[in-house]
Amino acid sequence: MFTVYKEKDYASLSRRAAAILSAEIIHNPKAVLGLATGTTPIETYQNLVESYREGLLDFSKISSVNLDEYCNLSPDHPQSYRYFMNYHLFDRVNINKKNTFVPDGMTEGKEAAARYDALIESLGGIDLQVLGIGQNGHIGFNEPGEFIADTHMVTLSESTIKANARLFASPDEVPKSAVTMGLRGILSAKKILLLASGKNKKQALEGALYGPITADLPASVLQLHPKVIVITDCDIALQKR
């Protein structure tokens, strides 16, 4: 079940997303937030940092679990998702870093992945999961082709490597594999906040919202979730479902 907010631009998308996250943090000071990386949520996180500085938000009892991480990038590599989260949010608010979790991209194997799912369960599950969407419809790093339930290692698609190359010095530096929360982990979140910004996301978003549920477009599984808020500045045609 989708509630869709169409915003005029990235700034208003980011304000609304931050408002929804803030409401969660205020209502539930011990919330478990599922967090995403990518360029889309950056201004949302900036807005949360501003609200924290204004004394409106307290992160001291909040926990977070991130969706994904590249394989073989150490946490202090500037393009690692752990570095991203520290830089954009964790180092700027009063969250206890010990309560922030990012999948381990340095330890290969099913055991490490299974530990991540067990960890999420031990936290009591995710209260609000933030998601971006890839141009090919990926969520986290769940790439087109196969629905995988649990946290797993994934070989990144050419299109994802190409899309993410803009953040690296050269395309060769983009890791070829990653660890991602699986679709059961994502769908188990109590609420989902999907953010899509920019013309190049329009097609994937429309497919996710209104197309068939298919592994060719992993975000389409969100149609199975009872509570998804979508915020977009894409000019999508809204349809009744």
Site residues for ligand GLP per CB under 6 A: 36-40, 67-68, 132-134, 140-141, 160, 164
How far, CA to CA in Å, does 77 sit from each of 82, 85, 111, 235? 9, 12, 24, 35
126/189 Cα distance (integer angstroms): 5
- CA dihedral (16, 28, 219, 215) in degrees, to 10, reads 180
CB of 49 to ligand GLP, least distance (A): 18
Q: In this chain, which residue has its C-beta nearest to ligand GLP?
A: 132
CB of 138 to ligand GLP, least distance (A): 7
Given 104, 143, 206, 233, the catalytic residue:
143
Query: Which lies closer to ligand GLP via its Cβ, residue 57 or residue 154?
Result: 154
Instruction: Please spell the DSSP secondary structure of 130-164, one letter per residue.
Output: EE---TTS-BTTB-TT----S-EEEEPPHHHHHHH
Task: Reply yes or no on whether 72 is catalytic.
Answer: no
CB of 60 to ligand GLP, least distance (A): 26
Task: Reply yes or no on whether 77 is catalytic.
Answer: no
Cα 15–Cα 136–Cα 222 angle in degrees, nearest 5: 60
Query: Which lies closer to ligand GLP via its Cβ, residue 151 or residue 160?
Result: 160
Query: Which lies closer to ligand GLP via its Cβ, residue 36 or residue 193?
Result: 36
CB of 160 to ligand GLP, least distance (A): 5
Given 138, 164, 206, 233, the catalytic residue:
138
Query: Which lies closer to ligand GLP via its Cβ, residue 100 or residue 160?
Result: 160
- Cα-atom radius of gyration of the chain, to the nearest Å? 17
Task: Reply yes or no on whether 68 is catalytic.
Answer: yes
Joined tokens for residue 106: 């340095």
Task: List, by residue number, the catalytic residues.
Answer: 68, 136, 138, 143
